[in-house]
Amino acid sequence: MTGAARAIGRAGRAPATERIAIGDEQIRDALLNAAIASILERGFYRASSNEIARRADVTWGAIQYHFGTREELLLAVLERSFDRFVWSLATTELTGTTVRDRLAALARVIWAHYGSPEYVAVMQIHLNLSRDPKRAQATEDAMLRLTDGIISGWRALIERGFGPEFGRLGLDVFIFEALRGHAMGDAIAREGPERVVSRMSDRVVWANQSRLIDALSEHVERAVATV
């Protein structure tokens, strides 16, 4: 994410050294994306180094050069996903005129991350690497750092959009858990073995999301009114 951010606004032709770096970044992104696709299609353990390299149209040596091992590559998938989410929290502004408008904007940020197919792959990576004796500590250290960033970014976004009283009332945590739970359930329903949501029309899915926003809005307005 940070490399992509550096590339924004770059004018003209980059020097040769920067062009090499950009090429390396593109290869890294291709490998990360190939790892996600492999896990979603074939499962965590069948997403081998060779399979990931094949999908990225590179040799196995590219994984070794950019990441060292398959496990380090998968940890980088997890870190990139959460880093992008933290960045979205930091750059989002909740500008709606009503509580419901701002909650809907907030929900879109949460659902874009936790409701994505990529997050289903991220969950598999975390569950498996955190139980690997050789990778557990590094995985948990990364998750602690990333979680701290999410909590900080979320609280800052809530305060920008709704004011400090949300935090004092505990509404920031309540809203996060409600929206995240819905998003993760939706992602699992789409990508899990039941494929429940895939049998439902988009109109039904959107209606359910709207009902959740309505319920949260009513709860928030009541809670704030009693202060």
> What is the structure's pLDDT at 194?
60
Other Cβ atoms closer than 10 A to 201? 9
Q: For residue 2, what pLDDT is reported? A: 35
pLDDT of residue 13: 36
Q: What is the pLDDT of residues 38-58, one digit of tens each?
A: 999 999 999 999 999 999 999
Give 69-111 pLDDT, tens digit per residue.
Answer: 999 999 999 999 999 999 999 999 998 889 999 999 999 999 9
Percent of the chain at pLDDT > 70 equals 85
pLDDT above 90 for 20: no
C-alpha to C-alpha distance for 155 and 167, rounded to whole angstroms = 7
How many Å apart are CA 9 and CA 96, to the nearest integer? 28
8 Å CB contact between 70 and 63: yes
Distance CA 69, CA 114 (A): 26
DSSP string of 52-117? HHHHHTS-HHHHHHHTSSHHHHHHHHHHHHHHHHHHHHHH-----SSHHHHHHHHHHHHHHHHTSH
pLDDT by residue (tens digit) across 137-185? 999 999 999 999 999 999 999 999 999 988 889 999 999 999 999 988 8
**Does position 114 have pLDDT exceeding 80, yes or no?**
yes
Q: Provide the mean pLDDT of the chain.
A: 86
